């Protein structure tokens, strides 16, 4: 499978073409729209979320809610386009009174993008580098999620830190806490931490500042055997890390015990392989986070992502005006104070797509029944070996 997306933050729409889906997969816009709605939630979001009511439209590759095997084309229209038609017009001449954006924001793609693409108007960079693009990431990932959920694979996310406030939540209980997390304005299952996180966000808002945090993903139902050790680019942990790092503002990834592994001895880090009367071969812990040797091992996949604070500040840092050469504050765009809860939903979608790639590599087929047959055959073999050993 593969996809390409296009569209600017204040352009007419976001578009994606997805290729390689098996024919016969049921897709419903309401399910994708629900994921798009989840992305727009979260305490600390900006005014843009009050404008956009994201909805997906299918333009090709779907008939009567079933994929055809041909490319699936999706579009999400930008309602804010009505306010930007002159400034972002795809054709014609620029308005005489068009004000160029020339003050790059520290921490954003503005300056590096201007140097790379030789632009003198930073809006040409920020319109595509904007996190508005993650709306289509969620739509595409939701298509992959629809495929994976047919095979019992489930995705959960929660926020374990915003700024200086850390939550205390037992990861093993995450699926049972899902309803509570979905109701939390900061996607946090720790009620005491939730309150302090909201207070922290309000303080940052008053100061004209922004906040980052840490997200934890928990993915259950993965079969053992996704990914491979035979080539570096086929390792599941490597591909997941690369994809998740492509989300705007994500600056670090760890799987399982991650950086904590550096403090422990090998006898403390590695998960003993045991024989359980009920399940056969199993493990007594999950410090590996569900991946060993670049391959899923059948345990829950646990990933943590570090998100830096958003670089658009209403109390901006010093910068240099590229037009005049004078020192000046960085540009101020409408933005969020904290988008960590929303980024958790984006991370679910990005992980869904990446796991679906590995799943389709393992369980090939041009139509869904063919994929199901391959999966069932393989799982029967795996379960038989685990039980007999």
Mean pLDDT computed over 65-69: 98
- Quick one: which of 5, 54, 7, 36 has its CA closest to 345? 36
Could you read off the pLDDT of 90-113 as tens digits, one per residue?
A: 999 999 999 999 999 999 999 999
- Quick one: which of 375, 307, 309, 371 has its CA closest to 344? 307
* 142 pLDDT tier (thresholds 50, 70, 90): very high
* 234 pLDDT tier (thresholds 50, 70, 90): very high
Reduced to 3 states (helix: H, G, I; strand: E, B; else coil), residue 84 is: coil
Structural domain range at position 72:
2-388
How far is the C-alpha of 225 from the C-alpha of 350, rounded, in Å? 20
Beta strands in 78-116 (DSSP E): none
CATH of the domain at 238: 3.60.150.10
How far is the C-alpha of 269 from the C-alpha of 254, rounded, in Å? 14
Cβ neighbours of 194 (radius 10 Å): 22
Could you read off the pLDDT of 327-347 as tens digits, one per residue?
A: 999 999 878 999 999 999 999
Q: Is the pLDDT of residue 388 over 80?
A: no
| Residue 301 backbone dihedrals phi, psi, to 5 degrees | -90, 125
User: Which pLDDT score, from 0 to 100, does residue 48 have?
Assistant: 59
Q: What percentage of the chain has pLDDT greater than the value 70?
A: 98
DSSP 4-73: EEE--TTSSEEEEEEE-PPBT-B--HHHHHHHHHHHH-STT--THHHH----EEEEESEETTEE-SSPEE
In total, how many domains does the chain have?
A: 1
User: Which pLDDT score, from 0 to 100, does residue 212 have?
Assistant: 97
Mean pLDDT computed over 166-177: 83
Task: Please report where in the chains the tokens 């991946």 appear, as a residue.
Answer: 291
DSSP 176: G
| Residue 91 backbone dihedrals phi, psi, to 5 degrees | -130, 165
Q: Is the pLDDT of residue 154 over 90?
A: yes
Burial label, 311 (beta-carbon count in 10 A; 0-12, 13-18, 19+):
buried
pTM over 0.85: yes
Could you read off the pLDDT of 42-62 as tens digits, one per residue?
A: 998 876 566 678 999 999 999
Q: Is the pLDDT of residue 273 over 70?
A: yes
How far is the C-alpha of 189 from the C-alpha of 341, rounded, in Å? 12
Q: What percentage of the chain has pLDDT greater than the value 90?
A: 89
């Amino acid at each position: 499978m593969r996809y390409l997306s296009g569209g600017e933050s204040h352009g007419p729409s976001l578009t994606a073409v997805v290729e390689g889906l098996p024919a016969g997969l049921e897709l419903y816009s309401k399910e994708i729209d629900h994921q798009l709605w989840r992305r727009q939630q979260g305490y600390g979001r900006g005014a843009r979320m009050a404008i956009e009511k994201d909805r997906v439209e299918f333009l090709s590759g779907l008939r009567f809610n079933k994929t055809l095997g041909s490319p699936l084309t999706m579009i999400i229209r930008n309602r804010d386009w009505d306010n930007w038609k002159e400034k972002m017009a795809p054709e014609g001449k620029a308005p005489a009174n068009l004000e160029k954006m020339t003050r790059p924001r520290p921490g954003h793609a503005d300056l590096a993008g201007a140097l790379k693409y030789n632009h003198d108007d930073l809006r040409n960079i920020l319109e595509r580098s904007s996190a508005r693009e993650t709306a289509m990431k969620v739509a595409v990932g939701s298509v992959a999620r629809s495929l994976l959920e047919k095979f019992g694979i489930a995705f959960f996310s929660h926020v374990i830190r915003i700024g200086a406030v850390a939550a205390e939540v037992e990861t093993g209980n995450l699926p049972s806490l899902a309803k509570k997390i979905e109701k939390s304005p900061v996607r946090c299952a720790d009620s005491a931490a939730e309150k302090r996180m909201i207070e922290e966000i309000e303080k940052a808002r008053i100061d004209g500042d922004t906040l980052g945090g840490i997200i934890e993903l928990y993915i259950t139902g993965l079969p053992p055997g996704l990914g491979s050790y035979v080539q570096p680019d086929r390792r599941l942990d490597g591909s997941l890390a690369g994809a998740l790092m492509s989300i705007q503002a994500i600056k670090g990834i760890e799987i399982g015990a991650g950086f904590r592994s550096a403090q422990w001895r090998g006898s403390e880090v590695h998960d003993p392989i045991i024989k359980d009367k009920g399940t056969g071969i199993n493990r007594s812990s999950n410090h590996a986070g569900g991946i060993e040797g670049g391959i899923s091992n059948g345990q829950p996949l646990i990933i943590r992502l570090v998100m830096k604070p958003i670089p658009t500040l209403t109390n901006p840092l010093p910068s240099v005006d590229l037009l005049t050469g004078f020192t000046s504050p960085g540009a101020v765009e409408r933005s969020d104070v904290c988008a960590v809860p929303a980024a958790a939903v984006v991370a679910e979608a990005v992980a869904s797509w990446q796991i679906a790639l590995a799943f389709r590599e393992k369980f090939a087929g041009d139509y869904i029944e063919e994929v199901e047959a391959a999966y069932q055959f393989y799982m029967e073999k795996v379960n038989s070996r685990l039980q007999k050993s």
